[in-house]
Structures are given as structure tokens and as C-alpha cells.
Amino acid sequence: MRIGNLTLSGYAALAPMAGVADRAFRELCMDFGAGYCVSEMVSAKGIAYHSQKSAALMEISDAERPCAVQIFGTEPDTMADAARFALRYRPEVIDINMGCPAPKIAGGGSGAALMRDPALCGRIVQAVSRAVELPVTVKIRTGYDSDHLNAVEVARIAEQNGAAAVTIHGRTKEQFYAPPVDYEMIRAVKKALTIPVIGNGDVVDAASAQFLYEFTGCDYIMVGRGALGNPWVFREINAFLSSGRQTPPPSLDEKCRVLLRHIKAVVAYKGEDVGMREARKHTAYYLKGFKNAAKLRNLAFSMTTLADLEALIAAIRDYQSDRRIT
């Protein structure tokens, strides 16, 4: 698939997820076969106020390219300034968040709340598209709520104002992540546009990826929560959609190696104090499906050092082999 002059490999991208899809996780998923990734969302107002925390979210390593920087806000000029600022980090794409349902984002009029004002959506896309020469994409939902399912309208406006691609998550803002996913709306958006459409919603394995592709006709897919603790989902999707080949599930050894690699990268980028606090939630995702997962999660939530993680991994191996832990 092409976004502007950018050609993406594979079949699936890693979704932007605040607090989890950081640099370490993006690099890991790209290594396992994600064809594209998007940064955690960055506040345009934060950039305007010279927030170092906001600017740090735009940092991109060579190991995670091609990568988009995602920005959110409500003011076209401020969004355009943030897009220009992002150029110093050399992203391949600028993505505009019009889909976040979180109260602190949508409650301020940003994210999915923008879909209540399609004209403003158009002005923001136009301002950002005119500000940078990079492809500009937009991430939306099916609508604000079930009474306002206007994804087709907003997607058309985005295309008319310069968007190079649209990603649609098949839920409303009011749904957050509750079922069901509206695959019909994703298909309707695809039929309405001439630019590429990326489908998003409940892709957790090769089968769900194939269904999303075939039912909606979308050009590419985006994997979000299905990749948490499961970066090899991209390997699985690529193998199945390219050749019908089913890859074996990761072994216990691979899961332990990848968990350790992931958390070491988090610590390298953020320091042990911050990194190990964040490691607790990441580790909990990896523990899904393990024997004695509840006991292992309790151990994970008390970790403060990499040595604690290594002890946890030893505990994981013991529990899975039914050896008692003292």
C-alpha cells in the first residue's frame, strides 16, 4: 500500500496507543513484521507551550521506520505549527488524531470529539496538509455515538482537504473498546474514498486480520490491543496473508526472551526507575494465558529493578513446568 509517496510492506501497522506503544514497543513490533507504526499522540498545545515531554514523544529511531508522528488538538493553526515542529524528528507521515475516546482528550474537544464538527475536521486537515510536504493521514472512529455515525462524511472531508489516507476504528467514541466492531462502516468508508483506507478494530491474529481485509476491502490493517504482550502477531499475519502459512505459536523460551528484551529497552530509554514502573503493565500483557497468571502478575506489579524481572522470568519457567516457587 502507498500513503502518498511512501510504500508500506506487509499487511499490518501498529496502532498508536498512549502509554504502551512507546519507542521500545514500536521497535519490537517493527522487528516482528509490522510494516508501519504511529507514535503515541502528541499534544499540539503542548508543543506550542514548549513542553519537553510532548516533544520527547516525537522521537523516532531508525529501527521503527516508517513511522508517523500523531498530533491532536482543536485549533488548525496550532496543529499546523505542531506538524512543522515534528519535521525535526524526520517522520515519514503526520497523523491527525480524530479518534481518541479518552475523557481527558475528547472532553477537551480533541480526539473523537472533533467528529461532532466535520467542518472543523476539514480545516484542521487542510491546515496541516498545507504546512508540511509529508503525507498527512487521519484516524477516526465510526462516529461520536450511535446517533451520529458520520465516518463517511468526515472521511470524505478529510480526503477533500488533503489527507493521503484515513484509518477508521470500527467503534464510536461512546463505545470506547466495547463490542461490537462496525465492519460495515469500515467497508462504507472504503467504498466512499479514492485514497487508501486502513481498517482497525479487534485484530488479534491472522484469522481476524483476514476477515477484516476480506469483509471491508480495506487497503491495510492496524493492530492495537491485539499486539500487547504479543508482538509476534505481525509475523503471524504476514505469513498467513502472504502464503496461507500458519506460524507456530511462540514457545515459552521465546516469550521469556522477548519479554526481557522489551523491558530492557524500556529501561534503556527511560531509566530503571520509570522503566520498571512501566514494565509492570507490559509484563502483565505477556502473562496472559500462562499457568498461575494471577500469582505471576502479583510478582510483576512489585518489580522495581531488572533483577526483579529476571527473578520473575525464572518464576514463569518454574510455574509453567509445575515446579513450586518458594
- Reading the block at residue 88, the C-alpha cell is 525535526
Dihedral over alpha carbons 127, 128, 132, 135 (to 10 degrees): -130
Please list, in sequence order, all residues whose beta carbon lies within 8 angstroms of the beta carbon of residue 44, skipping any fewer than 6 positions away: 71, 72, 73, 75, 78, 79, 81, 82
Q: What is the DSSP letter of 123?
A: H
Residues 137 and 94: beta-carbon distance below 8 Å: yes
Q: Which of 29, 37, 100, 256 is catalytic?
A: 100
- Give the helix ranges, DSSP H, for the chain: 23-31, 44-48, 52-56, 76-86, 103-106, 118-131, 151-160, 183-192, 206-216, 233-243, 252-270, 272-286, 293-300, 306-320
Best CA proximity match to 296, nearest among 276, 318, 274, 278? 318
Nearest to 176 by CA among 255, 111, 259, 242: 111
Go through the chain and tell me how many residues it has: 326
Q: Which helix (H) or strand (E) holds 39?
A: none
How far is 154 from 149, CA to CA, in rounded Å? 10
* Cell digits of residue 258: 522477548
Three-class SS of 214-245:
HHHCCCEEEECHHHCCCCCHHHHHHHHHHHCC
Tell me which residue of 163, 137, 169 sits closest to 151, measured CA to CA: 169
Please confirm, yes or no, whether 29 is among the known catalytic residues: no
Nearest Cα to Cα of residue 39 among 92, 105, 101, 108: 92
Which residues have a catalytic role annotated? 100
